[in-house]
Amino acid sequence: MSKLIKYTVEHYKKAGVSDADFVKWFNDVQVANGLPLIKKHGIVKYAVHFRDAQLSTAFRAELDKVRPEWEVSGADLTIEYYLPDIYLIQNLLADPEWESKAAKDQANFVDLSKSTIHIGYETIYLENGNILN
C-alpha cells in the first residue's frame, strides 16, 4: 500500500465565539453532516483536536525554557484528513453538499482568513511503544 496523504487544516474561532459554541457548532454541523460526505469521497481517516488554552499556556511557559524561539500554535481546531489521492479532498470540497451541509454557517464561527493547510505524507516511527522504522 502506498503512503497516505495527510491533509491538515488549522482553524481559528471567529472573534466573540465562545469555546463551547465553537465546539457545539463543529460537532453538530461539520462532523454530523460532514462524515457521510467524507466517507462518500473515499477519505480513509478523519481526526480532530481542539486547542486546550490552559494546556497551551502551561506548555508555553515550559517551552520558553528550552526553545523560546518556537511558537505554540494558537489554532483552536486542527483537522486531519488521510487520503490515498489528493483529488479526493478536492472532490469533497467541490461537492455542493459540503458547502450547504458540513460548512453551513462556518463563516459565523471560523475566521477563515487565518486558516492554514499543511499537506504531505506521514511516516510513523513509533506506535504503541514499538519502533517501526
CA dihedral over 66, 128, 43, 17, signed as positive or negative: negative
Give strand pairing partners of 83.
5
Note the pLDDT of residue 64: 92
> pTM for this structure?
0.90
Query: CB-hemisphere CA count at 13 Å for 10?
Result: 11
- The string of pLDDT tens digits covering residues 72-107 is 999 999 999 999 999 999 999 999 999 999 999 999
Domains of the chain by start residue, with CATH = 5-131 (3.30.70.100)
Residue 133 pLDDT > 80, yes or no?
A: no
